[in-house]
Amino acid sequence: MRTRLTDDEEAVRDVFAGFFGNESAIEVVRGAEPGGHDHDLWTKLVATGAPGMAVPAGAGGGGATLRDLAVVVDVWGSHLAPVPLVEHAVAARLLHTLDAPANLLDPVIAGDRIATVALRDPVDGSARLVPAGAVAEVVLARVGDDIVARESAPPGTGPRNTGDLPLADRDLRGAEVIGPARKWTRALDEWRALMAVAHVGLARAALRLGVDYVSTRIQFDVPIGTFQAVKHGLADASTRLEGAHLLAHRAVWALDTGRPDATRLAGMALLFSAETARFVTDRSLQYHGGYGFAEEYDIQLYHRRASSWLLQLGEPGLEYARLADAEFGPTDGRRIA
């Protein structure tokens, strides 16, 4: 596994850092609340080719690897860009893998129709709290032994939530079967790995906010960043962030190269990166003092999303249990003394 970006990947990072820096300034993020989606930003992102970049060129995509997409997702996460890049990219790759009909696949690859994946299995024909469910025209889900696709007009709104994410319940009755459920695990693993990368991007930006604040906030005639406790807290945050970065990109690499431990790494990376993002944003918000809870300060935007992104998958304890069962085998419910 490479630990540094190639020249091409650095070029991709620089291009999208410029794009999101210009088009997804923090004012855009604030303006997208509470719905969590900016239609104009999505239109501009589509023009870059990012939504379908990781689909093979022969199918109309950009022919990029999952690792290339992860470079973009890192920047996307650091800017909290209010567009469903990860869900859409995963859905587009899944549709291609399933050899979905052109009338369904082509508009998704082009970004003309937003697609998403229902991370939780539907109950009684309804998928609950679907990521990007408020804005997606195409919803993919696992129902029994099948993967289904439901095309319908998005509701546009959903329940209010801590991270101001475009979540919504979606009706899947009458959905079209497009493939076998055995390919669903790969799609969820890609979502896990890419969201791990997004958490790393978020945490890096939050750490930068914290460092900038403690460098300028004066107390007792000195910047508070000179206080030992603050230094240690930021050092701990930085160390965890480096570990999360390595694990997240290792998970992406494992998926891209077909490693047998890819599923395990994707889950580990998501959980550790989410924990890291919470730790970093907690520290940064704490060092902002009371300002950290004020809406006019940006750190609260990062803190709320760090608290929310993982919950889209469900109760985190279930993800820990899934990993434990895969590593040690399922338990029979007996407590070991």
Please give the sequence-ordered ranges of beta strands (E in DSSP) within the chain, or none if there are none. Answer: 115-117, 126-130, 138-143, 146-151, 168-171, 176-180, 218-219, 222-223
Widest CA span in the chain: 67
For residue range 81-90, list pLDDT tens digits in order. Answer: 999 999 999 9
Closest by CA to 281, choosing from 244, 247, 248, is 244
- Would 91 be classed as within a structural domain? no
pLDDT value at residue 332:
61
The verdict on residue 70 lying in a domain is no
pLDDT given at position 216: 86
pLDDT of 240 above 50: yes
Q: Would 90 be classed as within a structural domain?
A: no
Look at residue 333 in the predicted model and tell me its pLDDT: 56
SS3 of 167, please? coil
Q: Is residue 259 part of a domain?
A: yes
Q: How high is the pLDDT of residue 127?
A: 97
List the CATH number of the domain containing 213: 1.20.140.10
Least confident of 191-205, 207-221, 258-272: 207-221
Q: Does residue 174 fall inside a structural domain?
A: no
Does 214 fall in a domain? yes
Contacts of 248 (CB under 8 A, 6+ apart): 70, 193, 196, 197, 199, 200, 269, 273
What is residue 123's DSSP assignment?
B
| Residue range 155-173, pLDDT digits in tens | 999 999 999 999 999 999 9
In angstroms, the CA 275 to CA 243 distance is: 11
Query: How confident is the model at residue 337, as a pLDDT?
Result: 38
What is the C-alpha separation between 210 and 190, in angstroms, rounded?
30
Structural domain range at position 206: 185-328
- Count the domains in the chain: 1
> What tens digit of pLDDT does each residue of 129-163 get?
999 999 999 999 999 999 999 999 999 999 999 99
- Amino acid (one-letter) located at 321: A
User: Residue 3 pLDDT more than 80?
Assistant: no
Residue 273 in any domain: the answer is: yes
Stated pTM of the model: 0.95
Q: Kind and range of the H or E element at 251? A: helix 228-256
